[in-house]
Every structure is written in structure tokens, then in C-alpha cells.
Amino acid sequence: DAKTTQPPSMDCAEGRAANLPCNHSTISGNEYVYWYRQIHSQGPQYIIHGLKNNETNEMASLIITEDRKSSTLILPHATLRDTAVYYCIVRGGNTGKLIFGQGTTLQVKP
């Protein structure tokens, strides 16, 4: 599975959009981009995933570049409860395993 690179930490003001970048330059054609988040002392929570097209659900939007080498997770109106570690995972291959990297710690501030 392709590796991902994320900034270790980011801050965001409450009520503003949080844009979390992820680089996955070695992604192959059949690999999906998944985003999970983990609030302190809880299990990871699925957010969204995509292959080529941009995706949106009730939690977030996922923007994938045309060459698929990077993506951005957008939380449109961040709240204090969105403070968490956000993991970008490239998933595919034969097993479809989730291989977590170190993620981005997002701190939403009042």
C-alpha cells in the first residue's frame, strides 16, 4: 500500500474551515484514499473515502487532485469537538488493510 505524508499538527479557529492535507505520491490506480479520526482515548472513527472524484458527506469533504498524488480533507465549520488526530490512509491491494501513519493532530481553538 502507498505511503502517506501528513503534517504532524495544525490549528484551526472554531467556526472556520479546517483543511487537512495529505500527500500520497505513490498511489496506484486501484487504491482508495480513506480518512479516519481518533478523538483522545476513543477508537478511530471513519470519516470519508474516495478514489478519483471529490466526495462529500455529512461530516466532511474530500478533494483529490487530478493526478491523485494528494488530497485534502475539509471540515467546513470546525468545532471544539473536532479536535482529534486525523489519519489519511491509502488502501487497496489484495488485502485492503488499513495501515495507519502518524496522522495530523488538529487542535480547534475557541
Partner 1 sequence: DAMVIQNPRYQVTQFGKPVTLSCSQTLNHNVMYWYQQKSSQAPKLLFHYYDKDFNNEADTPDNFQSRRPNTSFCFLDIRSPGLGDAAMYLCATSRGDRGYTDTQYFGPGTRLTVL
From candidates 41, 66, 81, 110, binder to partner 1 by CB under 8 A: 41
Interstrand relation of 9-13 and 104-109 (parallel, antiparallel or unpaired) = parallel
Start-to-end CA span in the chain (Å): 38
Q: Which of residues 82-101 bind partner 1 (CB under 8 A)?
A: 87, 91-93, 96-101
The residue type found at 31 is E
Stretch in the footprint of partner 1 (CB under 8 A) among 15-23, 45-53, 54-62, 64-72: 45-53
- If one asks whether residue 53 binds partner 1 (CB under 8 A), the answer comes out as no
Q: Contact between 103 and partner 1 (CB under 8 A)?
A: yes
Among 18, 31, 35, 73, binds partner 1 (CB under 8 A): 31
Q: Does the footprint of partner 1 cover residue 73 (CB under 8 A)? A: no
Tell me the residue ranges of DSSP E strands in the chain.
9-13, 18-23, 32-38, 45-50, 55-56, 61-64, 70-75, 84-91, 104-109
Backbone angles phi, psi at 73, to 5 degrees: -95, 130
Residues that bind partner 1 (CB under 8 A): 30-32, 34, 41-46, 49, 87, 91-93, 96-103
